[in-house]
Amino acid sequence: MGLKRLIVRRGQPFMLQLHFNRPFHWGTDRITFIAETGPAPTELSGTRATFSLTQTRQGNVWSASDFTIDSNLLCVSLFTPSNAVIGSYTLKIETSQGQGYSSTHSLGTFFLLFNPWNAEDDVYLPSEILLQEYVMMDYGFVYKGQEKFITSWPWNYGQFEEDIIDICFEILNKSLYFLKNPSKDCSQRSDVVYICRVVSAMINSNDDNGVLQGNWGEDYSLGVSPLEWNGSVAILRQWSARGGKPVKYGQCWVFAGVMCTVMRCLGVPTRIVSNFRSAHNVDGNLTLDTYYDRNAEMLATPERDKIWNFHVWNECWMIRKDLPPGYNGWQVLDPTPQETSNGLFCCGPASVRAIKEGDVHLPYDTPFVYAEVNADEVIWLFGDGQAREILAHNTRSIGNNISTKMVGSNQHQNITSSYKYPEGSPEERSVFMKASKKMLGSRRASSPLLDLLRSRDSQDQPAQLQLRLARTPEWGQDLLLKLHARRVPNRAHPRGPIRLQVRFCAQALLHKGGAREPLWRQIVHLNLDFGEEIQWPLLLPYINYRNKLTDERLIRVSGIAEVEGTGRSILVLKDISLEPPHLSIEVSERAEVGKALRVHVTFTNTRTVALSHCTMVLEGSGLIHGQLSNDLGTLVAGHTTQIQLVLYPFKAGHRQLQVLISSNEVKEIKGYKDIFVAAARAS
C-alpha cells in the first residue's frame, strides 16, 4: 500500500497491486479478501467483510473486481459499499489452490471515511463548489461580537494535518458509547446521525474525557483563555498527547471550531453558524426574563435561563432516514455543554427545516434549538423585591443575524431565513403558535404572564427614545453617544408637553448573559413638547471602563425614563462592541512549496495606554508545522512594531496565515492573510 497511509471514502473504488512469488492463475488460484474494523469484528455487525475475486462488481457490497493479470502481478479494484462502517480497517487475503492448503497474508491498513461525493452516501452533497467549501477547506471564520457589529474571527481547522485523522478516531474510541460496548459502538459507525451525536458529546468533557473543558468565568490561569486559540490542531494534539485529558479552556466558538475539524476530517460536510442573542431556555416556556432597577442597572437573575450575546454551533449536511420526508439537508449540532440529551451533554442533529416549521417533536433536541432562535424576551422593572412593571416584550430580539461563512468568500452570510420566517409575518406567528402548543401544551392557555402580555399595549408611550453612537467606538477612547427623544401622541397625553427623568447606566456584558457592576451612571432631565425631537449628547469616558470590561469588550448602556405624573417608564438600550487595535500582514513575493516566503507583520498601538506582556502566535495549515510564538514585551502607546519572519510552505493551494497578538489589556488582536501557494517547480 505504499509508504503513505491509504485513506479512502466509502463507495469509492481503489486499486491494489499484488505481487506473488509465481504466476497467478485465474480459475485455479483462489483469493478471498478480508476487511475488518473494531475490536471484535463480525459480518453480522458490519465490521467484517469477506469477498472473493470476481470479474465484475456486484452492486453496493464489498467486492474485488475489474482485475488484470500480468504473470506474477495482479491488479484489482476494491470497492467499499456506500453504507459501510467508517473506521480504521485491516485488510488481509486468504489464498488457496483448489481444495488444498490455504494461507492468510496481511496487506496493511486503511481508513474508510464518509463520502459526500457519492450519491448513495447519506452525506451526499451534489455541488462541487459546496464540497470544496464544507469538506476540503481547512480554514474559515467564526463570527462574533453583537448583531449590529459582527466581527470575523479566523480559525484554522487543519483537518488534513498528518495526525488529525488518528485523533478523530481516537475521539470515537474514548467515547462512553465505545467504552460501554465497543462492538456495538463500532457497528453503528455507518450511521452519520450516530457519529454526530457521539462527536457532539466528546468535544466537551462534562460526561467523559472529552476534548475541551469549558470555562465561562474570567480566570483562565490553569489553562489557555478561549480567546487565545487560533484553531483546532493545537487543541486536538494536546488532548491526544496527554492521553485524552481535557484541554483547558473552551467556549462555544472553540467547541464548534474543533467539531468542524473532526466532522470535515471524517467526510461530513460541516460549517460553523453564529446566532446573535441566543436564548438558553431551560424550562422550555419560550420566554426569558430580564430585570432592571429604577437606576437602569441590569440585575442578576436567579433563573438558569440566559441570553448569550452570541452562540456558535455547527451544521452538518445529511439525509435523515430516521425522520419523515422533507427534513434532509443541514442539521444543527452543538457540542457546547448546555443541556443533556438522553443523559449526555450533546445536542442534535436537529433539522434546520424542522426548526423553521416548528416541528419540535422531531429528534434530536429540536425544542431547545427552536427556543434558541425564537424565544421571547420580557424585560421587567424590578423594585421592592418584586417585578413591578413590564418595560418591554421583545418578540424580535432573540435569534438575529444568524450567520455563516459565505461560500467562496471571507464575508459572512445571513441565513436567518433558513431558521425562521420573517419576524411578525403570518407564517412566523403561525409556526410560533404551533411550536408553543407542542412545547407548552395546557400550560400556555393558562399562563398569567401571557395574558398580561396580550393585554399590554407596548406602543402606548408618550415618547420614543433611541441611543445612537456619535462615532466609531474604539477601545482606549472615550465613547460618545446621543440620546434621540421624540414626543409622540398617546392616550394619556394626547398632545401636551411632558417631562422625563432619564437614568442611564453602563455595564460590561458577560458572554454567558448578565452584566458586571455599573461602570458609569448619568441622569438627564428633558422637557418635550408635542412633535419636538431632542438630541442629547452622552459621554462615557475611557477611564470609566478601563480594566472593567470582559475580554469581549461589550458594553450595554441602559436608560430608564420616568414620565412625570404617569408612573410609566420607558426603556432604551444600546449594546456597544469596542474595536480592538488592528494589525497588518504583508507577503513580499510569490508563495511556492519549499521556497522561502518572507512575511511582514506590522502592529501599531493606537491606544492611549501601553499594552503589556504582548505575545504573538502564528498558525496556518500548509504554511507552518504547528505554531510559531514570539514574545513582543510591552508596546507603549503610539508605538509601531514590525516583525519579519520566513516561512517555508509545504502544501500547495489556497492557504490562510493567522496571527494573534495578546496582551494583559487586550486578548484578541487578530489578523489573517490569504495566501495562494504554487506547487514546487520541476527542477
Q: DSSP states of 598-657 as a string? A: EEEEEEE--SSS-EEEEEEEEE-TTT-SSEEEEEEEEE-TT-EEEEEEEE---S-EEEEE
**Lookup: cell for 652:** 500547495
At residue 278, the 3 state secondary structure works out as: strand
Q: Catalytic residue, from 168, 252, 346, 614: name it.
A: 252
d(CA 182, CA 87): 13
Check the annotation: does 428 bind a ligand.
yes
Residue 376 marked as a ligand binder: yes
Give catalytic status of residue 334 as yes or no. yes
Query: CA–CA separation, 300 vs 224, rounded Å?
Result: 27
Which residues contact residue 381 at a Cβ distance below 8 angstroms, ignoring those fewer than 6 apart?
A: 291, 292, 293, 294, 387, 388, 389, 390, 391, 560, 569
Whether residue 505 lies in the annotated active site: no
H-run or E-run covering 330: strand 329-333
How far apart CA 145 and CA 269 sit, in angstroms, is 26
Separation CA 427–CA 417 (nearest Å): 12
Q: Is 586 annotated as a binding residue?
A: no
Q: Which of these, 3, 44, 9, 5, lies nearest to 121 by C-alpha position?
A: 9
Distance CA 559, CA 504 (A): 4
DSSP class per residue in 461-521 = -SEEEEEEESS--BTTS-EEEEEEEEE---SSSSSS-EEEEEEEEEEEEPTTS-EEEEEEE
User: CA-CA-CA-CA torsion for 543, 544, 547, 553, nearest 10 degrees?
Assistant: -110
Ramachandran class of 347: left when φ > 0, alpha when ψ lies in -120 to 50, beta otherwise = beta
**Sequence-separated (6 or more) residues with CB below 8 Å from residue 133:** 271, 405, 407, 408
DSSP symbols for 44-82: TTTSEEEEEB-SS--SSS-EEEEEEEETTEEEEEEE--T
- Among all chains, which residue has been given the C-alpha cell 471602563? 545
Q: What per-residue string of b and e applies to 140-150 under the rule 16 or more CB within 10 Å gives b?
A: bbbbbbbbebb
Phi, psi values for residue 86, rounded to 5° = -85, 155
Annotated active-site residue in 334, 359, 365, 575: 334
Please state at what angle helix 252-266 crosses helix 192-203, rounded to 10 degrees.
140
Q: Is 311 a catalytic residue?
A: yes
- Which member of 208, 305, 311, 346 is catalytic? 311
359 annotated to a ligand binding site: no
DSSP 204-272: B-SSSS-SEEE--SS--TTS--GGG--BSHHHHHHHHHTTSPPEEEE-HHHHHHHHHHHHHHHT--EEE
Residues annotated as binding site for Ca(2+)? 374, 376, 423, 428
Residues marked active site are found at 252, 311, 334
Residues annotated as binding site? 374, 376, 423, 428
